Structure 1
C-alpha cells in the first residue's frame, strides 16, 4: 500500500458522534471496542491489540496516515483477513495497524463501501432536555 490514508477526529480521540457508532464485539474470542466511522478511509486495528492477539502483520511499503488532528504519521504493514464478529455477520477484512488510543478497531469506508446499496439518514437533531 502506498499513498495517504485518513482518520477522522472522531477516530483519533474516540468521540462518539451522530456520524459514528461504537460496538463491543469479538476478535479471536477477545472482546474489543469497534468504531464504525464514515470519516475514516480505511479499516484500522490497534497495533497493541494486533500484538496481543499475535495477528500476523504483512510487510508493506510505508504509508502516511492523516490524523483527524491535522498531524500526519507514518504507518506500515497490514493485518490480512481479520475476522470481526458482529451480531448477525462476521466481517473478514484487512486492517492497518496503528496506535489508536481509546478504540481497538475502526471500520471505515473501505468496509462501508463494500456493502450493498443502502439508504442511511445521518441527520443529527439536537433536542434540548
Structure 2
C-alpha cells in the first residue's frame, strides 16, 4: 500500500509492505537529511520484490507522520529507487491486529488507544 508520509514539513513516498522483513529508509534521503546513522553487524534482509540484500546501517527511532499520527521505528538503510521509506513486518507487527481492505486501499488498527 502506497502512502504519503511527512518528515517534518517534507512529504515522503512510503510503501507499507508485508513482504519486507524490516523497515527501510533510502540511503540517499538519509544522507540528504544528515541523519545520524549507526553501523551494525551485517544482516540479510528481504525487500518487497523478494530480493535478499545485505544491510549494515541503521537509524534508531526514526519518526514520521502519517494520516495525522506520529510513528517511531528503527529503519535499516538500503538503496531505494521508488520510495523514500518502506515499512515492513517489523513495523506492522507492532500494530497488533490489522483490518486491511485491498479493494479500497484502506487499513484499520488500534494505535495508542
Q: TM-score range by the shorter chain?
A: 0.7 to 0.9
- Of 88, 104, 127, which aligns to 2:84? 104
Alpha-carbon spacing, 1:44–1:25, altered in 2? closer, same or farther (3 Å): same
Question: Following the alignment from structure 2 to structure 1, what is the Cα–Cα distance between the partners of residues 46 and 99?
Answer: 28
Equivalenced residues, count: 104
Segments of 5+ residues of structure 1 without an aligned counterpart are: 1-20, 124-129
The residue number in structure 2 matching 1:32 is 12
Matches within 5 A, 1:10-21: 21=1
Runs of 4 or more above 6 Å deviation:
none
Cα separation, 2, equivalents of 1:61 and 1:107: 21
Q: Counterpart in 2 of 1:49?
A: 29
The alignment's C-alpha RMSD in Å is 2.0
Name the structure with the higher strand share.
Answer: 2
Q: What corresponds to 2:63 in structure 1? A: 83
Normalized against structure 1, the TM-score is what? 0.71
**Structure 2 unaligned spans of 5+:** 104-113
Greater gyration radius: 1
TM-score normalised according to structure 2 size: 0.80
